[in-house]
Chain A
Amino acid sequence: NAGVTQTPKFQVLKTGQSMTLQCAQDMNHNSMYWYRQDPGMGLRLIYYSASEGTTDKGEVPNGYNVSRLNKREFSLRLESAAPSQTSVYFCASSEAGQGGHTDTQYFGPGTRLTVL
């Protein structure tokens, strides 16, 4: 099992450009998440999908959109990139979704995005 995979690993954009970050999991998990990690800020939730066909906003959704393409795949789109979106983006998945308090999230390798 590959676990959670993300593409691309690195990306440099100019202000105003758009791009989509891809995430896939092969663990048959119901829930998927997108986080960003900035120095001194910890991981902050952008969007999540508790199950196939549903998406919800997290702490910092502005400037992003998501698509849960199927049970395996969850993409994050930046429509008009800004320097403030320079960050490391992690996708994660979990089995039970929002219902189980011991539900554990497993992370992908991350995408390092720089917006100039």
Chain B
Amino acid sequence: QKEVEQNSGPLSVPEGAIASLNCTYSDRGSQSFFWYRQYSGKSPELIMFIYSNGDKEDGRFTAQLNKASQYVSLLIRDSQPSDSATYLCAVRQDNNDMRFGAGTRLTVKP
């Protein structure tokens, strides 16, 4: 079992819709959770992080964390074609090591 799992996609949504990206992790002691966006051929760039159960909002992005279910998600409201990218979930484990998921490819269609 991989330590951080994401659906590889591709996930396709129409412009203006809500995109929902999911991530599960195996280390129950994990402390914090990061979402990165990676455009094709580019480096990952941080969208946001979350470390408390519940929701955290930043503009059109909302991260949701449920530690009991070992589940973290990213919602993108009013999706735009410029949101088309691969989204990486990263988890800081109990031993402080960061583990990355393989990413979910999102396509937003005009």
Contact = CB atoms under 8 A, between A and B. Distances in A.
27 contacts: A40-B102, A42-B4, A42-B101, A42-B102, A43-B88, A58-B97, A90-B43, A90-B44, A98-B96, A99-B96, A101-B32, A101-B51, A101-B92, A102-B49, A103-B92, A104-B34, A104-B46, A104-B49, A105-B46, A105-B98, A106-B46, A107-B43, A107-B44, A108-B43, A109-B42, A109-B43, A110-B42
A13 interface: no
Given A40-B8, A42-B88, A110 B43 contact: yes
Interface string A91-116: 00000001101111111111000000
Contacts of B51: 101-102
User: What is the size category of the interface that chain A forms with chain B?
Assistant: 20 to 34
Interface of B: 4, 8, 31-32, 34, 42-46, 49, 51, 88, 90, 92, 96-98, 100-103
Contact of B97 (A35, A45, A103, A109): A45
Nearest to B2: A42
A2 interface: no
A35 to B, nearest CB: 8
Interface centre among B88, B90, B98 (most CB of A within 10 A): B98
A58 B46 CA distance: 21
Contacts of B88: 42-43
Contacts of A43: 44, 88, 90, 100
Nearest to B5: A42
Contacts of B34: 104
A111 to B, nearest CB: 11
Contact of A42 (B46, B49, B96, B103): B103
A41 B3 CA distance: 11
